[in-house]
Structure 1
Amino acid sequence: MRNKIGKFLFPLKTERGLTLVELLVAIALFLLIIIPISSYYISGISLYQRTQTETNLRNEADFVLSDIFNTVQNATYFELQPVENENHKEDLLSIFEKSGTLDFDSKSEEEKNAIKNKLSYGIFTYKLTLDKDNVSKLKRKGLQFFATDTGEKFSYNPSYLVDGLFHLSDDNKKLIVYLLVAPKNSREEENRTDRSGEDMEFKTIEDVKDVINAKGNTSLHYIRLIRTEFAVNNFKGGE
């Protein structure tokens, strides 16, 4: 009777503990289960972040294109700016050409050069207004994707690197826009990369150019490149 009461009151004294081998097996089984789950979880987070970045880039590109369209349409007339920095233009041209955004495959050398010569990274808008004395005045404004002493910037989120080129169709009835949008690295540190080693942000256009030179138009999850066009009827000197 005393032994039965003792077993009931103090059951732990009769239980055998885990051996080291059993503990190691339990840990190994736990790791076999948790590691794949963790890997899928981390991959899911990375995929979500990349998808979110791509969505944000599309939204920012739409916003910038809308600003360009409204600026041109609201002007009395407009014209393309003369190019002052040929190196900057060549960097952008290289990006759009090597990514396939600007397609020269079906063009002759003469046609390529004609398009390249017409490309500009800014526009001048002219707005006809009336002053208080009812006198007409024509106001000119220069617009680029970067601020200069003689011009202003198009509207865009400063957390993005935004740049582009313009040219007109042969009949001056369409404005063709080549646009680049990418997350901007404004810190002193190096550009962040994702798990696959792809750059997630860029300090300068040269950084984007390096990625395009290395990868072409593949795996550009963090760079948005667009070619679009819209009808215009107010080009200065256009027929």
Structure 2
Amino acid sequence: MVDVIRAWHPQVPQVQEVLHARFDHHAYPAHTHDSWTVLLIDDGAVTYDLDCHDHLATPTAVTLLPPQVPHDGRSASPEKGFRKRVLYLEPEWLPESAVDAAADSPTLLGTDALTEVTDIHAALADPADALAAECGVLALREFALSRLTPVGEPTSDAPLARRLRDLLDDRLLESFTIAEAATELGTHRSHLVRVFTRNFGISPHRYVIGRRVDRARRLLLSGSSPAEAAVESGFHDQAHLTRHFRSTLGTTPGIFSRR
């Protein structure tokens, strides 16, 4: 029986679907997906067969299931169910060359992968954080590629990083995606995020949030209300500003302006 299940299609490039579920007794029969499946176990454990090999998914790691490879799934303990969060990503999210490697080794160990996937789900909970979710999906791609494909030579491409920074500055008050920026700059979105982060030490999303918080801070000091500052600095609404303002400066816009 299914105790809890929630699924939705977010407006985020490369994300087909998001699923949150808790199962007490359900067992998945063998099946395939046409997408990359990123599985995060929050409670319990899942044993599954992937490409005729047994594996175990636990809360200590991220599981990456490749498209078109049969797998099943069931609770590792007959007395206990499991709780999971799943991202279904476009088949083009990773190259075809990564499919066999993921089938052989579907477990992404380490806190980096866990943190990245957790942050993606947190961003997907609020449509205002779509850019954060998109950047997270691209960062997770780089992490997965580093585990599944041979390491290539790093590239700096500082001119491209500066072009993206200029574009982000020009569109600071607009809603846009990295996919749109990559099309305009004539490059791949993953490469764009990689060179920006390598050159400036911060992801494009964090750069935009920092610039918007800085703008809101100046507006508040000039007498704008938190609601006005949110609109005039590119945030979705006052709640969106408050969340990032507190995270960046350690206080709320209202308290900041009163002091």
Pairwise same-fold verdict (TM > 0.5): no
Report the TM-score when normalising by structure 2. Answer: 0.22
Which of structures 1 and 2 has the larger relative contact order (alpha carbons within 8 angstroms, sep 6+)? Answer: 1
- Higher Cα Rg: structure 1 or 2? 1
